[in-house]
Copies of this chain bind each other. A is one copy, B any other.
């Protein structure tokens, strides 16, 4: 049945992602994956033509789920405020709320895993990772561009730089959170970045500055 097949494939992808985030891609053997998913090698190679194929489908699935979350927060944030600045702040808050409500601590970013093992993958997979990270960045860049168009920032910064910054902060935070076993680190750094954005754009801190 088609449904049964889809379930099996989805289970393989889910377990594979968990294992790859834990141990890296090359350290995760197909035997590990099929054991975790409770299937045989035949089942695996029915759904994936190679381990490279798994890598490709794994990262595509990750990116799709990732951007789906992003777009949901984006819609909700835009619905809550017309002001681009407030919408960005709300967007980040929704992200932080999601992080806080995660049961198991955030496992990590598959993009980062792939970047640090990039020599393992086919060029098109690396290109997909690059494209996804840039897509992520451009998502933020549009938001910052809209803000800058309305209110000039207090320092000379470009929308691209700011977008690059939040993505870098989050990628780095994933690493620190994992190593230090500090699941709250990611949301904390997101909040700190919000403070930075506030300093750059918020009128309250400008007028307060004039008084102080």
Interface residues, chain A, with chain B CB atoms under 8 Å away: 21-27, 108, 111-113, 115-120, 126, 129-130, 133-134, 137, 154-155, 157, 161-162, 164-165, 167-173, 175-176, 178-181, 185, 188-189, 192-193, 195-196, 198-200, 205-207, 209, 212
How near does chain B come to A135, taking the closest CB pair, in angstroms?
12
* Leading 7 A-B pairs by shortest Cβ distance: A168-B172, A172-B172, A171-B172, A26-B27, A24-B117, A23-B119, A115-B179
Secondary structure dominating the interface of A: helix
Residue among A117, A162, A209 having the largest count of chain B Cβ atoms under 10 Å:
A117
**How many of these chains are in the complex?**
2
Partner of A133 from the list B112, B176, B198 (CB cut-off 8 Å) is B176
Are A117 and B207 within 8 A (Cβ)? no
Given contacts A115-B179, A178-B115, contact A120 B27 (CB under 8 A): yes
Determine the chain B residues whose CB is within 8 A of the CB of A173 once the complex forms.
168, 172
